[in-house]
Amino acid sequence: ALAAAAAADARRAAGQALGPLDGVPIAHKDIFVTQGLPTTAASKMLKGYQSPFDATVVARLKAAGVVNVGKLNCDEFAMGGANENSAYAKARNPWDTGRIPGGSSGGSAVAVSARLVAATTGTDTGGSIRQPAALTGITGIKPTYGRCSRYGMIAFASSLDQAGPMARTAEDCALMLQAMSGFDERDATSAQQSVPDFVAALTTPRTGATADKPLQGLRVGVPQEFFGQGVSADVLAATRAALTQLEALGATLVDVSLPRTELSIPVYYIIAPAEASSNLSRFDGVKFGHRAQRYGDGNVDKLNDMYRKTRAEGFGPEVKRRIMIGAYVLSHGYYDAYYLQAQKLRRMIADDFQAAFQVCDVIAGPVSPTVARAIGSSTDPVQEYLADIFTLPASLAGLPGMSVPCGFGEHQLPVGLQLIGNYWQEAQLLHAAHAFQQATDWHQRQPTALA
């Protein structure tokens, strides 16, 4: 990091042309492989592992001149929504250190919220950028699936995982996303899609817009399913106030329906574990990572015993739970009943969004049903899964979504407004978020301990 900072200073002193990210301190979620630094995915299974290459996202940001100051804690293999599943330590919310920062990109959110770095990288499989951004009062965007390369990003669920930036503002997210985006031939899921100028889009006026009505003509869909039972009153109040602010900026609110929202939970928790059980089968102690020290005692098959003990020791409880769920739904006799049906419903969820986008340009609602809960207050995995209800639908559909600070709820904890766009419409989301942030100061608030 010091060498990279010195190089940035030297470029500046020499009068070289500098990019907007040159010399900016950032940090990477510990799910992106980084040459010269350990990459563990917050798991004992990869303790001490060092990659011989950089992930594409890491390499692209390095080429843009950023200074990487280190790696950031997360839920093990990105499985979790509280950062309580890390094999090393629990990340804590800067607004109240007795509360979770969200997950799985909890460390990424904390580093920005606590003003340790200007921006971070995160990954979002079912809400892992948007939810921690909301709970810590920062901005984060999950791009369209395929916008950012997954090469060198340790896989959880390959058809859902997507990299994205987290920062204090929509403008900073746009700068980061500009550098991170683009086709990568080494990633089979990378899309050959042109990358717009996200930064210029922030201030490109809409047709018919005025200085005080920058969102004139923008149709904001409000899904009734996002405002029903189960959402706390404080989150509802902050979200509705944000919608009123969007109206004041010229946007038109339109009622829409996403009727299969509730089904997104069982669909996701069939498909994601199924893919995880396959992806994590590579961690067996043979080539890299943790290997059990004692195995093969007695009259047993030594190789299979090494596999079993290595995986039993190396994986944490939540990762084991999801591997077992995934293996079950893919097993003979259950594949058709569970996995195949989940994939059919996934398509229907995506179709629901397309029906909604016939009458609106973006969709808005809460990110999380509640503000950040206390660390250790939840012991029921199913309750944790239910908290993902508003972030999972966009993930299953592969749509871009972001969280924008929009107020405070119970215990003066941050609330995030979720904006969801159609495929490849990140620029439109960032424009709307930027306009909102020019009219409000929620993104400028900082934890009391830093004030």
Model confidence pLDDT, tens digit, residues 401-429: 999 999 999 999 999 999 999 999 999 99
Mean of all residue pLDDT scores within the chain: 97
> In this structure, are strands 414-421 and 119-124 parallel, antiparallel, or unpaired?
unpaired
- Alpha carbon distance 324, 330 (integer Å): 10
Convert the pLDDT of each residue in 110-160 to its tens digit: 999 999 999 999 999 999 999 999 999 999 999 999 999 999 999 999 999
Q: How far is CA 272 from CA 79, 203, 279, 317, in A?
A: 10, 37, 10, 16
Q: Which residue has the tokens 């969007």?
A: 246
- Alpha carbon distance 206, 251 (integer Å): 11
CB atoms within 10 A of CB 298: 5
Q: What is the pLDDT of residue 215?
A: 98
Q: What is the pLDDT of residue 379?
A: 82
**Residues that are catalytic:** 29, 104, 128
Q: Is the pLDDT of residue 451 over 80?
A: no
pTM of the model: 0.96
Convert the pLDDT of each residue in 310-323 to its tens digit: 999 999 999 999 99
Q: Which among 190, 75, 95, 78 has a CA at the least distance from the CA of 136?
A: 95
pLDDT band with cut points at 50, 70 and 90 for residue 378: confident
Q: Which domains does the chain have, with CATH numbers?
A: 2-264+342-450 (3.90.1300.10), 281-341 (no CATH)
CB atoms within 10 A of CB 113: 25
Convert the pLDDT of each residue in 38-89 to its tens digit: 999 999 999 999 999 999 999 999 999 999 999 999 999 999 999 999 999 9
Q: What is the pLDDT of residue 297?
A: 85
Give mean pLDDT, residues 190-207. Answer: 97
